[in-house]
Amino acid sequence: MSLHDFLKDKLPEEKLALVPKGFEVIGDIAIINIPPALDEDKYLIADALASHSKNLKTVLRKLHKINGAARVGEFEILYGNRTTTLHRENNCVYHVDVAKTYFSGKMAHERNRIAQKVNDGEDVLVLFAGAGPFLISIKKTKNVNITGLDNNPAACSFLKKNIELNEIEAGVILGDANSAGHLFKKSFDRIVMPIPYGQDYFLNLARPILKPGGFVHFYTFKKDFEIPHFKRLLEEKGWHIELYRNCGDVAPRVSRYVFDLREC
């Protein structure tokens, strides 16, 4: 049964039409966008969601878009009493506090895809590493030298815990990606860049610390009609686009895209 099925006898049709069809699950936490028109029904919706998915212990309502330098969202607890969880995917486990560090449960396939593309022996850098989903997935799959950087102290703290939890070795740097060119004295075979919304300029930071012929996995947010122009811009800047794909919707008409880039 869908969430709508659980609610069809509890809400009138006009309200039922406003209930989101989708929600995100991170560990045993569900995150859902409930519009203001359904304020008085938010606890009813949360209870139905918990009944719909028996493994859920917490339901959070997203109040605002992810923003700020730390990329932290603001949530209202509708069911349960915590924002921490253990999230498992691709034979990895992550301790996460969704109120303190950015984490997307929708990117499991993409994280595994990148891990499979990496070659043993590479020097890899993950910018905006967060709690470590890209870094740990790569290191658990391939024998590489890998470093994660994030400007959020809470994210770096969770990243260090998750490195221990998954019994791997990796470098962790608390720092600003804008300073990457000064922070690193070596260059990298591959850079993973799940950048914040609307900050494409960070791609310019990759080339000075990328080895000749190296790869960048660049994540950006675009409307579908913006993609042809963005592809031209990348090519004009000297990037060869090996692949690009839609990684899922994040807002009406806006999707997250990945571009696998190679320096020409």
- Domain annotation covers residue 94: no
Residues 46, 134 within the same domain: no
How far apart are the C-alpha atoms of 80 and 255, rounded to whole Å? 30
The reply to whether 228 and 172 lie within a common domain is yes
Clarify whether residues 126 and 252 are in a common domain: yes
Q: Has residue 249 been placed in a domain?
A: yes
Assign 156 to helix, strand or coil. helix
Residues 220 and 156 in one domain: yes
Within a domain: 102: no
Number of domains in the chain: 2
Q: Is residue 178 in some structural domain?
A: yes
The pLDDT value given to residue 6: 84
Regarding pTM above 0.75, the answer is: yes
Instruction: Say whether both 38 and 146 belong to one domain.
Output: no
List the one residue out of 66, 58, 6, 59 whose CA is nearest residue 34: 59
Percent of the chain with pLDDT over 70: 96
Say if residue 149 is in the same domain as residue 241. yes
Give yes or no: residues 229 and 146 share one domain. Answer: yes
- Per-residue pLDDT reduced to its tens digit, 16-66: 999 998 899 999 999 999 999 999 999 999 999 998 888 999 999 998 665
**184 and 69 share one domain:** no
CATH number for the domain including 71? 3.30.300.110
State the pairing for strand pair 171-174/145-150.
Answer: parallel
Q: What angle do CA 67, 72, 77 make, to 5 degrees?
A: 120
Does any domain span residue 92? no
Which of the 8 DSSP states describes residue 153? H
- Whether residues 233 and 128 share a domain: the answer is yes
Residues 24, 130, single domain; the answer is no
Whether 100 is in a domain gets the answer no
Together in a domain, 119 and 185: yes
Cα–Cα distance, 189 to 208 (Å, whole number)? 12
Distance of CA 198 to the CA centre of its chain: 14
Closest CA to 258 of 231, 238, 237: 231
> Does residue 87 sit within a domain?
no
Residue 93 lies in a domain: no
Of 249, 248, 259, nearest to 108 by C-alpha is 248
- Please give the C-alpha separations between residue 113 and each of 90, 120, 243, in angstroms, as whole numbers: 10, 15, 12
Res. 72: pLDDT tops 90: no
| Domain of 169, in residue numbers | 107-263
Last residue of a domain, one of 82, 99, 116: 82
Q: What was the pLDDT predicted at 264? A: 78
Name every residue whose Cβ is closer than 8 Å to that of residue 237 and which is 6 or more positions away in sequence.
none
Q: What is the CATH number of the domain that holds 185?
A: 3.40.50.150
Same domain, 125 and 41: no
| 102-148 pLDDT tens trace | 999 999 999 999 999 999 999 999 999 999 999 999 999 999 999 99
Phi, psi of 53 (to 5 degrees): -125, 100
